[in-house]
Chains A and B, each alone.
Chain A
Amino acid sequence: MPAIYALYVINKSGGLIYNKEFVVMASNNLNDTLRLASIWHSLHAIAAQLSPAPGCTGIELLQADTFDLHCFQTLTGTKMLMVVEPNTPDVDILLKDTIYDLYCDFVLKNPFYEVEMPIRCELFDLNLFQTINNVHRRWGLIH
């Protein structure tokens, strides 16, 4: 059953600037989340350099037994991470098209947001929840 667990946004320097969980998760610990963000940032950078594939920009997908972790990096180096149920389809498209659009609209066009700082924008939260709910409804998770 496909499902979206959580969304994280990591800034250029590896700091966690946004985290939102859409289901109740086992270890809901902010310190763990911060650690995940900075470790992922480093792994992503190292992978981009070590990869034998030419023009590699970093890890895009990590598949584990209990989750898939999709990563989308913007041109400016901000990373969006989405933790989903294994084999959830089209998450890369969702990140790149929908979530990135929401980020541009409700975070970057908000005059009260300072770049690289934690995201506290009411409208971003609101629209993100709507989007995730719509996706979950389409998958029949909620009615």
Chain B
Amino acid sequence: MFSSPLYRLNIVDRPLAKGKGEVSLSAFSFLFSELVQYCQTKVSNIGELERRLEDIGAEAKDLEQSNTAEDEYMISDYDLFVNKFISVPKDMGALNCAAFVAGIVKGVLDGAGFRARVTAHFVPVKGQPKPKTTILMKFDGTVLAREHRLPSL
């Protein structure tokens, strides 16, 4: 039964099982819940909590707020998976745990050379009990300047 050479190897010498590439929503939700709770113990206000959640997803975090109003992009989701099971208490106001997703978006954009400020907001929808979540990307001035320069090349 254990004649295969693989079984004769010590367990630490065997190759890792490849496993499944997907994770159950429940497992993810519990993990995310713990993550938010952990961040909560480290902060004194809501803005700080959102920034922490952003920082976990983000690589670069030294970006200053851009004053360029023209280049804002948005991604909207009516039922974002990280917010599926989360009820934000009234005293926490406009906290949106999708700040974590905003951090991931920021990490990707920064990595691709598009420096941006990415934030998550709740936007009420008419005729819907739940608000939608909007990920707002505000690009850095340098990115704008570069994009304006490119077509003239």
A31-39, A118-126, A131-139: which lies at the B interface? Answer: A118-126
- CB contact between A123 and one of B26, B30, B86, B92 (< 8 Å): that residue: B86
Identify which of residues 10-37 in chain B touch chain A, using a CB-to-CB cut-off of 8 Å: 26, 29-30, 32-37
Chain A interface size band reads: 10 to 19
- CB contact between B92 and one of A106, A109, A112 (< 8 Å): that residue: A112
Q: Does A111 contact B (CB under 8 A)?
A: yes
Chain B interface size band reads: 10 to 19
- CB contact between A109 and one of B30, B40, B89 (< 8 Å): that residue: B30
Q: Looking across the interface, which residue of chain B has its beta carbon closest to that of A113?
A: B87
Q: Are B89 and A111 in contact (CB under 8 A)?
A: no
User: What 1/0 flags go to B82-93 for Cβ under 8 Å of A?
Assistant: 000111110010
Q: Are B97 and A120 in contact (CB under 8 A)?
A: no
Q: Are A109 and B87 in contact (CB under 8 A)?
A: no
Closest beta carbon of chain A to B91's beta carbon, Å: 10
User: What 1/0 flags go to B29-59 for Cβ under 8 Å of A?
Assistant: 1101111110010000000000000000000
Q: Does B5 contact A (CB under 8 A)?
A: no
Number of A-B contacts (CB under 8 A): 42
Q: Does A116 contact B (CB under 8 A)?
A: no
Given the known inter-chain contacts A109-B26, A111-B40, A111-B97, please indicate yes or no for A123 contacting B33, CB distance below 8 A: no
Q: Looking across the interface, which residue of chain B has its beta carbon closest to that of A120?
A: B89
Q: Does A98 contact B (CB under 8 A)?
A: no
Closest beta carbon of chain B to A116's beta carbon, Å: 15
Residue numbers in A under 8 Å from B40 (CB-CB): 111
Q: Are B89 and A112 in contact (CB under 8 A)?
A: yes
Identify which of residues 18-47 in chain A touch chain B, using a CB-to-CB cut-off of 8 Å: none
Q: Does A60 contact B (CB under 8 A)?
A: no
Q: Are A110 and B33 in contact (CB under 8 A)?
A: yes
Q: Does B113 contact A (CB under 8 A)?
A: no
Q: Does B129 contact A (CB under 8 A)?
A: yes
Interface centre among A104, A106, A110, A121 (most CB of B within 10 A): A110
Residue numbers in B under 8 Å from A111 (CB-CB): 32-37, 40, 86, 97
Closest beta carbon of chain B to A1's beta carbon, Å: 29
- Listed from nearest, the 8 A-B pairs whose CB atoms lie closest are A111-B36, A109-B85, A121-B87, A122-B87, A109-B29, A111-B33, A123-B87, A111-B37
Interface residues of B (CB under 8 A from A): 26, 29-30, 32-37, 40, 85-89, 92, 97, 129
27 contacts between A and B (CB under 8 A): A105-B85, A106-B85, A106-B87, A108-B30, A109-B26, A109-B29, A109-B30, A109-B33, A109-B85, A110-B85, A110-B86, A110-B87, A111-B32, A111-B33, A111-B34, A111-B40, A111-B86, A111-B97, A112-B87, A112-B88, A112-B89, A112-B92, A120-B87, A120-B89, A121-B87, A123-B85, A126-B129
